[in-house]
């Protein structure tokens, strides 16, 4: 009987795990478990303070989720909503991305179908030995596919041209639309009214193929362009993602998780280990180490005690604390950085303007030339005048179709950026490439860029008869329980040295000061000078030791100082060589840091940057201003940095280069991102950009030169002297060849050596 009952309970039991808000101590756990266990239908209830979850096994016939939640609420706590993917913004991003992908697919499909149809038509019309069927039949067969290409795949050009025309503007689309419509329209008349035109001496040749191939090639160019385009607008979004969505505000009735925009100045907010600090404020209770690397770039978590300032978006690395909100919304440091990035980004798009100006001049000129060609042939040309006038005018429009010009830049950028990506150099867009080849100065952030950005043991000085192995053994044992980064560096160092591991029997961390542990039955203290002095340890023998740029950790055993260990950030292996390569490339190399002058100079001397080129003690917000100062002196500046703190400086610089170790915000705020951890990519990026821009200039020179040469020929200027004239199909063919040569030239960039 009892067995049957148990079986039936387990058969019908269900389990539920719920997040519980507001628990602070073991009493809370007891209280909730007590309430849950009293509820009908609950078999077992386990509440975990650390994970803040209640796991309940229950009989669904007697109680459901609502009942369990009610029971937890009756105990005086709240059930949180399950952590879900950030709402809204991410969905919007996904929709955005899906739209872009659909657009790219549409362009590529259109290009392939249009080119396929065009090539097939051309193949039939230019078949060896002449067209295999009568032209009139061929024209009728072509009519439907040509119409589809012209008005379905070519629709975007017609719409854009029409929209431009309404505002009295002519652009690239106008040329494409006019040229293809002229070719298509003429062919349509020939096809539908062959007798009418025969009467005026016009043959049965049509130009459906030209129209299709032109549309196909230009769609292909647009597709390449869409692919090559970077995500310029993503930076601000990525920055804002750092802001947590909610905050645990302490209000009457306990701790409540509220949306971040409901936090007001003066609110007390609890921040748990691992949480992001929601707003800027002052720590009023508890202590912790906070990872501020995303704002300051400095990788060492900063110790925070009562009265210290904590900054929104930084990560609480160790203890729980309560802060008073002081700056919210737009006033937070994070929001100010966002504004800085936006402003800096909004102020630069010079290439686009230049391109628009050229187009604005080029397109009307071509239309005017086509019109003049038509009039000229009508007035001066031989019979059949209409044919000559029409075909020449169409030839002008088509040969001037800025295909090669449209392809010149995107293909080179695609190959150049692709080549860069192969070697870990991500280039955001063409603007970045253009700026990279013009820079005259490089500003390198120190922490995380030149240096590793994480502490390592740089000095071990045993004292009072202790040897190095013994000192490290004791320190590793004492620090093993701590999650502080300095402690991790100490343990890592000891482990790497093969120091045998011993366990500490008791362990206590004193936030911001050090640890106290029992090792081998002795009391070991590892920490700051103040920590040891307060414990009565005499530090006299350590006074004469110069730790240089390192942070010292003092070690005492049973009240006697037994050693001193220096921890410091170290230079990455490739930094010195990269600085040398940049200097040999004729660039002025600077270092910028928020660190003390002495630390900065010490690092500078290791990589070959003299003190006169070191900008030390620069606050994160002032880095952009320093870059601006260099720009005011006439330098074209590349800024290389990692954290978000560098984002304004990266945006202010003519070229922002971020190193992959940084947050992805800096990555998007920057023009170039180095995936690798070292600076070696910077000189390579400069060389790659020089090669790519050289290719673009060749391409543009070719495309413009080709137009300058062939437009007069298409217009018939050579007809009187050499009898030379281009018909529209030949013009389209020549134009396609021109595009191919531009693409081929771009592909040569593949041979670029990154090493």
Partner 1 sequence: MAAKDPVCGMDVNPEVASAQALMSDHDGETYYFCGKGCKLDFDEEPAKFFEPGYQPSM
Residue 5 binds partner 1 (CB under 8 A): no
Q: How far is the CB of 74 from partner 1 (least distance, A)?
A: 10
# residues near partner 1 by CB under 8 A = 24
Using the rule CB under 8 A, which residue among 6, 10, 24, 352 binds partner 1?
24
Cα 548 from Cα 546, distance rounded (Å):
5
Q: Are the C-beta atoms of 662 and 294 separated by less than 8 Å?
A: no
3 state SS for 646-670: HHHHHHHCCEEEEECCCCHHHHHHC
Q: Is 250 in the site for partner 1 (CB under 8 A)?
A: yes
Write the DSSP string, 714-750: HHTTTHHHH-----HHHHHHHHHHHHHHHHHHHHGGG
CB of 268 to partner 1, least distance (A): 4
Minimum CB distance to partner 1 smaller for 256 or for 613 = 256
Binding piece for partner 1, criterion CB under 8 A, among 146-154, 244-252, 443-451, 544-552 = 244-252
Q: How far is CA 459 from CA 82, 448, 496, in A?
A: 47, 21, 15
**Residue 49 CB, nearest distance to partner 1 (Å)?**
10
Residues 72-131 that bind partner 1 (CB under 8 A): 75-77
At closest approach, how far in Å is the CB of 523 from partner 1? 24
Note if 677 is an active site residue.
no
Closest CA to 637 of 584, 600, 682, 674: 682
Distance between CA atoms of residues 420 and 691, nearest Å: 11
The residue (of 31 and 385) whose beta carbon lies closer to partner 1 is 31
**Which is catalytic among the residues 445, 642, 677, 678?**
445
* Least distance to partner 1, CB of residue 253, Å: 6
**Sheet strands side by side (includes 53-58):** 42-48, 53-58, 14-21, 78-79
Q: How far is the CB of 274 from partner 1 (least distance, A)?
A: 19
Please identify, using beta-carbon distances, which residue of 322 and 535 lies nearer to partner 1. 322
Taking alpha carbons only, the member of 366, 273, 359, 271 closest to residue 310 is 271
Q: Does 560 bind partner 1 (CB under 8 A)?
A: no
CA–CA gap between residue 710 and residue 707 (Å, rounded): 5
- Between the alpha carbon of residue 208 and those of residues 138, 197, 400, 555, the distances in Å are 11, 17, 18, 87
The C-alpha atoms of residue 690 and residue 438 are separated, in whole angstroms, by: 8
Chain positions 25 to 44 lying near partner 1, rule: CB under 8 A, are 25-32
Given 205, 225, 255, 595, the residue binding partner 1 (CB under 8 A): 255
Q: Which residues pair with 255 in a beta bridge?
A: 250
Q: Could you tell me the smallest distance in angstroms from the CB atom of residue 47 to partner 1?
A: 10
Helix or strand (DSSP H, E) at 525: strand 522-527
Looking at beta carbons only, is 283 or 524 nearer to partner 1?
283
Residue of the chain from 322, 378, 386, 459 that contacts partner 1 (CB under 8 A): 322
Listed residue (573, 581, 587, 579) closest to 638, CA to CA:
587
Residue position matching structure tokens 């500046």 = 637
* Closest CB to partner 1 among residues 77, 374: 77
Q: Token match 């603007």: residue?
A: 431
Q: In the complex with partner 1, which residue's Cβ is closer, 248 or 446?
A: 248
Nearer to partner 1, 188 or 323 (CB): 323
**C-alpha 502: how far from its chain's center?**
45
Binding of partner 1 by 251 (CB under 8 A): yes
Choosing from 19, 164, 230, 254, the residue that interacts with partner 1 (CB under 8 A) is 254
Stretch that binds partner 1, among 218-226, 252-260, 516-524, 565-573 (CB under 8 A): 252-260
Nearer to partner 1, 78 or 342 (CB): 78
Q: Does 232 bind partner 1 (CB under 8 A)?
A: no
- Torsion sign over Cα 99, 105, 109, 112: positive
Rg of the chain on CA atoms, in Å: 36
Residues 264-293 that bind partner 1 (CB under 8 A): 268, 284-285
CB of 267 to partner 1, least distance (A): 8
> Residues interacting with partner 1, by CB under 8 A?
22-32, 75-77, 250-255, 268, 284-285, 322
Q: Would you name the residues annotated as active-site residues?
A: 445
């Amino acid at each position: 009987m009892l067995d049957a009952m148990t079986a039936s309970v387990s058969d019908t039991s269900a389990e539920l795990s719920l997040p519980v808000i507001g628990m602070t101590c073991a009493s809370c756990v007891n209280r909730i478990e007590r309430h849950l266990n009293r509820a009908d239908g609950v078999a077992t209830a386990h509440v975990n303070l650390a994970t803040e979850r209640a796991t309940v096994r229950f009989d669904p016939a007697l109680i459901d989720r609502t009942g369990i939640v009610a029971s937890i609420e009756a105990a005086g706590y709240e059930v949180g909503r399950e952590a879900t993917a950030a709402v809204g913004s991410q969905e919007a991003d996904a929709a955005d991305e899906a739209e872009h992908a659909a657009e790219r697919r549409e362009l590529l499909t259109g290009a392939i179908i249009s080119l396929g149809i065009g090539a097939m038509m051309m193949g039939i019309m230019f078949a060896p030995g002449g067209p295999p069927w009568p032209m009139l039949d061929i024209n009728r067969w072509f009519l439907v596919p040509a119409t589809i290409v012209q008005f379905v795949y070519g629709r975007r050009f017609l719409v854009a041209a029409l929209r431009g025309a309404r505002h009295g503007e002519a652009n690239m689309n106008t040329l494409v639309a006019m040229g293809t419509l002229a070719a298509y329209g003429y062919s349509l008349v020939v096809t539908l009214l062959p007798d009418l035109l025969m009467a005026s001496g016009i043959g049965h040749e049509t130009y459906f193929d030209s129209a299709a191939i032109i549309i196909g090639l230009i769609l292909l160019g647009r597709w390449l362009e869409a692919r090559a385009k970077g995500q310029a607008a993503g930076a601000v979004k990525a920055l804002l993602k750092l802001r947590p969505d909610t905050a645990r505000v302490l209000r009457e009735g306990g701790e409540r998780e509220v949306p971040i925009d409901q936090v007001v100045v003066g609110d007390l907010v609890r921040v748990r280990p691992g949480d992001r600090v929601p707003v800027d404020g002052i720590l009023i209770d508890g202590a912790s180490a906070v990872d501020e690397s995303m704002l300051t770039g400095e990788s060492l978590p900063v110790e925070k005690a009562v009265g210290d300032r904590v900054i929104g978006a930084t990560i609480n690395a160790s203890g729980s604390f309560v802060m008073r909100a002081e700056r919210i919304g737009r006033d937070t440091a994070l929001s100010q950085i966002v504004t800085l990035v936006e402003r800096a980004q909004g102020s630069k798009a010079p290439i686009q303007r230049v391109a628009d100006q050229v187009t604005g001049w080029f397109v009307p000129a071509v239309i005017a030339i086509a019109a003049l060609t038509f009039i000229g042939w009508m007035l001066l040309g031989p019979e059949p005048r209409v044919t000559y006038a029409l075909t020449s005018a169409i030839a002008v429009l088509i040969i001037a179709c800025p295909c090669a010009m449209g392809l010149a830049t995107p293909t080179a950028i695609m190959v150049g950026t692709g080549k860069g990506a192969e070697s870990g150099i991500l280039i955001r867009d063409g603007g970045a490439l253009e700026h990279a080849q013009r820079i005259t100065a490089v500003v390198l952030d120190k922490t995380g860029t030149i240096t590793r950005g994480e502490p390592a043991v740089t000095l071990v000085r045993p004292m009072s008869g202790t040897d190095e192995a013994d000192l490290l053994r004791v320190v590793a044992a004492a620090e093993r329980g701590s999650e502080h980064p300095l402690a991790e560096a100490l343990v890592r160092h000891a482990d790497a040295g093969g120091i045998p591991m011993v366990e500490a029997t008791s362990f206590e961390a004193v936030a911001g000061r050090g640890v106290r542990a029992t090792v081998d039955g002795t009391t070991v203290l590892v920490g700051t000078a103040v920590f040891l002095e307060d414990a009565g340890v005499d530090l006299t023998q350590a006074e004469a030791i110069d730790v240089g740029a390192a942070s010292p950790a003092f070690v005492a055993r049973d009240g006697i100082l037994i050693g001193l260990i220096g921890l410091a950030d170290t230079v990455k292996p490739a930094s010195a060589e990269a600085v040398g390569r940049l200097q040999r490339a004729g660039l002025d190399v600077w270092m910028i840091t928020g660190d003390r002058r002495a630390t900065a100079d010490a690092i500078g001397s290791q990589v070959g940057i003299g003190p006169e080129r070191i900008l030390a003690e620069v606050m994160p917000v002032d880095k952009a201003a320093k870059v601006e100062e260099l720009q005011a002196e006439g330098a074209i500046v590349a800024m290389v940095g990692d954290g978000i703190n560098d984002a304004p400086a990266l945006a202010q610089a003519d070229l922002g280069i971020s190193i992959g170790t940084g947050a992805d915000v800096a990555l998007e705020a920057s023009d170039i991102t180095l995936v690798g951890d070292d600076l070696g990519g910077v000189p390579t990026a400069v060389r790659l950009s020089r090669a790519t821009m050289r290719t673009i200039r060749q391409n543009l020179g070719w495309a413009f030169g080709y137009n300058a040469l062939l437009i007069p020929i298409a217009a018939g200027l050579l007809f009187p002297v050499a009898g030379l004239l281009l018909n529209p199909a030949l013009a389209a063919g020549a134009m396609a060849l021109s595009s191919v040569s531009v693409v081929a030239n771009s592909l040569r960039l593949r041979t670029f050596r990154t090493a």
